[in-house]
Structures are given as C-alpha cells and as structure tokens.
Chain A
Amino acid sequence: MKSESRSNGQTTSEQVPKQWQLRLYVAGKTPKSVTAFDNLKQICEEHLAGEFEIEVIDLIENPRLAKDDQIVAIPTLVRKLPEPIRKIIGDLSDTERTLVGLQLRSHSKMKE
C-alpha cells in the first residue's frame, strides 16, 4: 500500500510513531506530484527535522484509498497527526501557505 521507495528516506526503523504523520496523495508520477513531493521533503526537513513520517499514496495504484481521506484534488497532503486533520492541496510551491496549512505558522503572521 505504501509507496516504500519514497518514504524510505524519512522513516526510521524505530516503531515509535513520529509526532508528525503526513500522507501525500498523488496520481502517477506527474510533474505536479514530483514537485509536491520535493517541496514537502524540503519543508519537513527544514521545520520538522526528524519528527516526521511521509507516506505517499498513488491513487492510480490504489483508487480505493481516495475515499478514506475524502481526496478530490491531486496532489493533496493530509496531516494525519497531530490532530486535527488538515488538508493541503496543490504542489506545495507556496511555502508560506504550506506552513500555514500545516499550522506551523499562523494566518496573521503570514499576512505580515
């Protein structure tokens, strides 16, 4: 189910769940998904060093999974943990908005 090749770099062998659990939904290796994954990796490494886990789900391989997280748009990043669930759509090229979406930065700060 999990796209292991992509998540290997971030998952450690430890069984303890990371504080940040992120799930990236893509549909094949489109330029948008690749950009999104690259952007996500960069942001996470910068802001959540070591505390994150990324799971990439390719809906073309597993269309059934789109239902669980109510995915409509591609790419969509879902923050499973910490709660509440947040969804960020788009290729994550807008770093500020991504950080807001992940609640690493507040709206007001962004506006400044």
Chain B
Amino acid sequence: MVESLKGGGHVGFFCLKERLISKTVSKNNNSTPGNLPKCTTGIQGLDEITSGGLPQGRPTLVCGSAGCGKTLLGIEFLVRGATLFDEPGVFIAFEETAEELAQNVRSLGFDLDGLIEKKKLAVDYIYIERSEIEETGEYDLEALFIRLGFAIDSIGAKRIVLDTLETLFAGLPNPAILRSELRRLFRWLKKKGVTAIITAERGSGSFTRHGLEEYVSDCVLLLDHRVDGQISTRRLRIVKYRGSSHGTNEFPFLIDEGGISVFPITSLQRQHEASSERISIGVPALDAMLGGEGVYRGSSVLLSGTAGVGKTSLACHAADACCRRGERCLYIAFEEPEAQLLRNMRSIGLNLEPWVKKGLLRFHAARPTMNGLEMHLASIHKLVEGLNPSLVIVDPITNFISSGTVSEASSMMMRLVDYLKARQITTLLTNLNRNEGALEHTELDISSTIDTWLLLRDMELNGERNRGLYILKSRGMSHSNQIREFLLTDNGILLTEVYLGPDGVLTGSARLAQEAKEMATAAQRNQEIERKRGELSRRQQALEAQIAVLQLQFQTDKEEMERDITTEQVYLEKLEQGRQEMAFSRKAQSNGVPGSQKKVRK
C-alpha cells in the first residue's frame, strides 16, 4: 500500500492498465454470488453497457429492421467466443447459406471456414420452402430440436445464434403449433445451458413481427439504423435485461473492418486514475503560468479562440514537447493536410518532421464530413489502440458539428475525453470560436469535461490585431490570472507581458509606443534629478563661498580693530610717558597738580 503510494502517477497508470486487462480476460463467465452469471460477448463496448455481457445460459433477443446488423452481431458473438474465450458456437442460419455467410463476414476479418475446421464453429442452414410443403395433421418441430442438439453436441457449443427464427412463421402454415413449439424451444435452450442470441425482424408497433419478445424475456436488445442529414448512424439500446443493471440509453455503434464497436456515451463508471504528474505544454512561459509545471498528465486541455489566433501553433508546440520527452503523440488535423502543417510550423521555427520520421508523431488528417461522428470516434479509437500515444490533439473539435448535430457532437467529444482519460492520455482540443458570442463559450458544450481551458483572443486596437492568451480555468493548480501577449516569432511562440493602461490592454505597436513613452518619461525624470543635484551642489558652493567672504571680512575687521586697540593703548602709554617726562623736567612740581590730572583724563 505504502509502496504504491510512493510510486505516484506511474504506478496508478499501470494499475489501471492491469485492471483493464484482467477485466477483459477474467470477466468471462464471472459470477459473483448473487449476481446473474454473464457471458462475455467480446464485442467492443457491448460488455461494458450490459455490465458484463449477455445472460449466461439464457436466450437474448436481438431485434431491429433489415440491415441494422443483427446477423453480424450474432456472428461476432460466436467468433469472439470461439477465438477469445474458447467457447465453441453454433450458427443456425435461416436466411443465408453457410457459404454466403462466410463470404459476407470475410471482409470483417472473420474466418468462419477456419473456425469450422477447428471445430470451434458449426453453421447449419435451415431452409423452408413454403410452396413445397403441405400440412396434413399434427406435427411438431422435433427435427429442429434434433438438428440444434446435434450441432451443439458435435462441437460442445456454449453459444448459439438463431438467425432469424421468424422465417419459420413464413415457412410453416400453423402458427399455433409454431408458437407452442417456440416456447418449448426456448425452454429447451435454457436446459441445454447455451447462451443464445435469437434475432428477429422489427415489427410495426412491436419489437418483433411475430411477438417473439413474449417468449424471450431475459434480455432484449434493439438495433436501429438511422440516416440523418445523409449521414447514417447505428444505435443499440438495451430494452430489458432481467436481473441486471444496464445502460438504458441508445448507444451508437459502428460496423467497420474490425466488426462491431459499441460506444458508451458516458461510461457507467467514471473512475479514472488521476495522475499528479505534470507535463510541459511546450511553451515555458505558459508552463510557468500553469503553476510553473504545466498541465497534469491525463487531463484535458481546451484551447479556444477565434480564427488565426495561433491555436494550431500552440498545439504543435505541445506535440513537439511531447515528442521531446520521447512519448508518442497523435495529431488529428481536420483543417490542414500533414505536409502543409509541417511546412507552416517550420515558418515559426518548429520542425516536426523528425518526430514523424521517428514514429513518435502521427498525423491523421481527415475531412470531418467524410464520416459520421461514430466513424470518426471509431477511427480515433483504433489509432489510439495502435499508436498508444500519451497525447492526443484534435484540431479543431468544432468541425465535428458539420458531421452531426451539436448535441451528438458534444456527446461524442465527452465520450472521447472519457475514453482518453481512462487511458491516462492527455487530450488537447482546439475550439474555433465564431466572432459573435462570448469567448468563454464553446459551440460544443464540453467545458465541464475540460480540466484546463486556455483562451486565445485577438485584441484590436489602433488598426492592429494582436493576440492575447489567458487561462480561463485550470483545475487543481494555482495558475496565473494574467493576460499575456502571444507572439508568433521565427523561434516559436513567445509570451510577453501586456501593458495595462488607462486605455485598456495595450499590445503590439501600441505596447511598443507605450514602452517608448515610458522610457522617455523615465529619462526626463533622470535629467530632472541630475539637474536638481547640480543645483544643490552649486548652492552649497555659493553658500560656502559666501561664508568664506564673510569670514575674510570678519578677519579684516578683527585685525583693524585690534590695530585700533593697540594704537589707543600706545597713545595712552605715550601720554603717560609724556606726563612723567614733563614732571620730571619740572622737578619741582608735585604730583598733585590738578590741571595736569584733568588733561590726562580727557
């Protein structure tokens, strides 16, 4: 348990794979107690919608109008039984001879003659010519029972197909006897323990023309073949299935060179393993927007946008990234042939050719109107089975609408996404938006099945058209909410930041202009700062100069004053000296001469 948790996505993937394989092998005759034992038909999809197959050891009625595939369903039931489950089968043909039958199904790859030789299959052709027959009293169908019994016992059959039992009504004159004999026949088949398919022609107002549903009450399948707008679609419905759960919808089915494939619209169980591994989408900046690691493995990614926004280019980047990892990629291109796509991608520096040569990248270019939707789905199934890719790109899904109605196309897309998810294959779908209507809208209403939705939009401004990209949603990861400008360069896709100004989002040359403008403004500011700085220093210098002048003046004044002071002092000294000299010269004069003292004080 702990180990498997450690392993992460890969272990989960293999577990799923193993589970699928073991389911295919072991589901034959599996009878869990309390459940109805079922006989695996081996017909693709049928076992899924009947949750395991037809009721084992009981008859199943398959009805439908002419040409709806009843006989083929019967044949495939036997061939699959004989080849896949080692259950021999008997085909009782009322309408075709063994040779005709073998010839008819040879194109589907069924080798009836080979199986007959190996005692895996017995074909008995029962033919009743009404005009040869006269009824003369009481009879029963014991000979039919003997024939069936002989055919079953000769190869130990576990399966039987009666195609079409109702021809007996045309061949035998007494319906009353026939009805009681048919009732006995179904009882007898149950007693024999063979799983039987009884085909019947659809009647007006009832499932079968002769009311066979009255006798076969265990399981009734209805086949239908409708042509709508020149495109035909076959459908299968389980009318009843006693004692078992089953899908009740009409399931489209397909007859191609591989036999019958029934497609469950939504698989009954939606238990996909969810990988936590992340894979790159091929554009580093976009991976960064998606939580830095890209999308989850096995998730579904939708790229939507109007014409010419670069959906295909982005898809090709994803394909390139996938091949770089050494994984295989299936690219279903509905718009361009392979060569054109390769050439166009070279122009943006993406060389996909080596991947094609290595077998890692497979293009499947088809016109959507070439086939009905079911045929498309089937061919995708087949390609996926054959290539086993880890990424499938459908470019664009919008084109499916032209080969069916919108609801049919969306149900088909849903089934495709489910199918790919169950196989842990990452799906990348592109959707072409028409110019009218909201961008967050796909014509095929599949947004709920999408895990990561990238929106590419064009932005028109100043006579220019530029591309923008943003993530509308991405389940299970923190993602960027930014709009990025999406540039297609010679070196691939480049995502740059857009300018959000008062005029809205600016892209292209408007963005460049804005960039130039901002650069100019910045330069101007720088100049201003420089200027101010200069002024400041100049002022400082001026101030300092002024201070110096003042100091100089002060110094001068100071010196002058000191000189004055000194002069005064010298004068005073000289005066004193003069007075003393005078007194000395007078000699007789005393010191107290008032007149002279007054003079000094002046």
Contact = CB atoms under 8 A, between A and B. Distances in A.
Interface in B97-118: none
B514 to A, nearest CB: 91
Contacts of B150: 63-64, 66
B364 to A, nearest CB: 48
B142 to A, nearest CB: 4
B136 A72 contact: no
A81 to B, nearest CB: 15
A25 B135 CA distance: 14
B136 A74 contact: no
B124 interface: yes
A100 B134 contact: yes
Interface string B124-160: 1011110011111111111110110110000000000
Given A63-B147, A63-B150, A70-B126, A101 B141 contact: no
Interface string A40-58: 0000000000000000000
Contacts, number: 99
A22 interface: no
B128 A97 contact: no
Interface stretch (A4-12, A13-21, A86-94): A86-94
A34 interface: no
A109 to B, nearest CB: 14
A73 B141 contact: yes
Given A64-B150, A70-B128, A89 B142 contact: no
B136 A63 contact: no
B163 to A, nearest CB: 15
A63 B138 contact: no
Nearest to B177: A73
Contacts of A87: 129, 132-134
Interface string A19-46: 0000001010010100110000000000
Interface residues of A, number: 34
B137 A27 contact: no
A107 B102 CA distance: 40
B172 interface: yes
B168 interface: yes
A9 B171 CA distance: 33
B172 A73 contact: yes
Nearest to A98: B136
Given A72-B168, A73-B139, A101 B146 contact: no
A46 B136 CA distance: 18
A72 B144 CA distance: 5
B135 A72 contact: no
B147 A90 contact: no
15 contacts: A25-B143, A27-B143, A32-B138, A59-B146, A63-B146, A63-B150, A71-B143, A72-B126, A73-B139, A73-B141, A73-B142, A88-B134, A90-B136, A90-B137, A91-B138
Interface of B: 124, 126-129, 132-144, 146-147, 149-150, 168, 171-172
Q: Which 5 A-B pairs have the closest CB atoms?
A: A101-B134, A90-B137, A63-B150, A93-B137, A74-B142
